[in-house]
Amino acid sequence: MLVNMKEMLEKAKQNKYAVPHFNINNLEWTRFILEECEILKSPVILGVSEGAIKYMGGYKVVADITKNLINSLEITIPVSLHLDHGSDFANCKKAIDSGFTSVMIDASKYNLEENINKTKEVVEYAKKFNVTVEAEIGHIGGSEDNVNSGILYADVDECIKLVNNTNIDFLAPALGSVHGLYKGEPNLDFNRMEEISKKVNLPLVLHGGTGIPDFQIKKAIACGTSKINVNTELQIAWTKGVRIFLDNDTSTYDPRKIIKSGEDSMKQAIKDKVELFGSKNRA
């Protein structure tokens, strides 16, 4: 069932677990995630970056693949199709018009006033189509960033202003997480996370879920995080399976067999995250 993120994240916030956001890159990944989450009875968010959308052939292709897989695989869990890090109104609109059920407008590189204006424009359009909106504030680091540099922690007052002036559904405040692999132990500001959660009273989103130790994930959930984004860890898990297969088999050339060789290790990584986030049997 394709739904927006409203109910699934509000339920998660109330019951203190997090819904996994897994990034998809192709048809097979979409299928692997849907199948595994269906077995685990976990709600799931399929996050798609603008780069992955281009790679897969466009917004409509991604939405149609997802809808058709949900139908043909007889998926019953709540699934949200979400634009990850939408860079502007035009791309958020393309996602909404193509059938995405949720979008993120990432105007975090702008000053607060511009972030508010750009976010508001997306919210006004999205609401007409029952599409939920996530916004970001502060700067989430990239793998080029050290845990102690390149990250701009979100300011509590700015978070409140962004929420009050935009009517967004979810907030992703940068609090020390990094996309990709961490250099050293992640340095998340849990006190600030808890304070922001209480003051904005919306489900919070944690980006850069790869490489955060389990105890910190649990702490983030306890501090109000209801959606955790994971991309790199699934890529590593899938590649591990494929690499082992190819290292031991020099004659196979059927792409189906090669892509499938990463299925078990990727599904295991999905299962581990669902269990850690507490979203199993919540569908």
Which residue numbers are catalytic?
84
Q: How many residues bind ligand 13P (CB under 6 A)?
A: 14
The answer to whether residue 231 forms part of the interface with ligand 13P (CB under 6 A) is yes
The answer to whether residue 207 forms part of the interface with ligand 13P (CB under 6 A) is yes
The answer to whether residue 192 forms part of the interface with ligand 13P (CB under 6 A) is no
CA 29, CA 257: separation in Å to the nearest integer? 14
The CB-of-47 to ligand 13P minimum distance in angstroms stands at: 6
The answer to whether residue 138 forms part of the interface with ligand 13P (CB under 6 A) is no
Binding part of the chain for ligand 13P, among 90-98, 228-236, 242-250, 256-264 by CB under 6 A, reads 228-236
- Tokens for 19, please give them: 């819904």
Contact yes or no for 42/274 (Cβ under 8 A): yes
Binding part of the chain for ligand 13P, among 6-14, 30-38, 206-214, 254-262 by CB under 6 A, reads 206-214
Interior CA angle at 117 toward 98 and 197, to 5°? 90
The answer to whether residue 118 forms part of the interface with ligand 13P (CB under 6 A) is no
Choice from 33, 103, 230, 269 touching ligand 13P (CB under 6 A): 230
The answer to whether residue 233 forms part of the interface with ligand 13P (CB under 6 A) is yes
Between 115 and 232, CB nearer to ligand 13P: 232
CA 235, CA 29: separation in Å to the nearest integer? 10
How many CB atoms neighbour CB 114 within 10 A?
11
CA 27, CA 108: separation in Å to the nearest integer? 30
Smallest CA-to-CA distance from 235 within 205, 211, 202 is with 211
CA 31, CA 27: separation in Å to the nearest integer? 6
Which residues bind to ligand 13P, rule: CB under 6 A? 23, 47, 84, 179-180, 207-210, 229-233
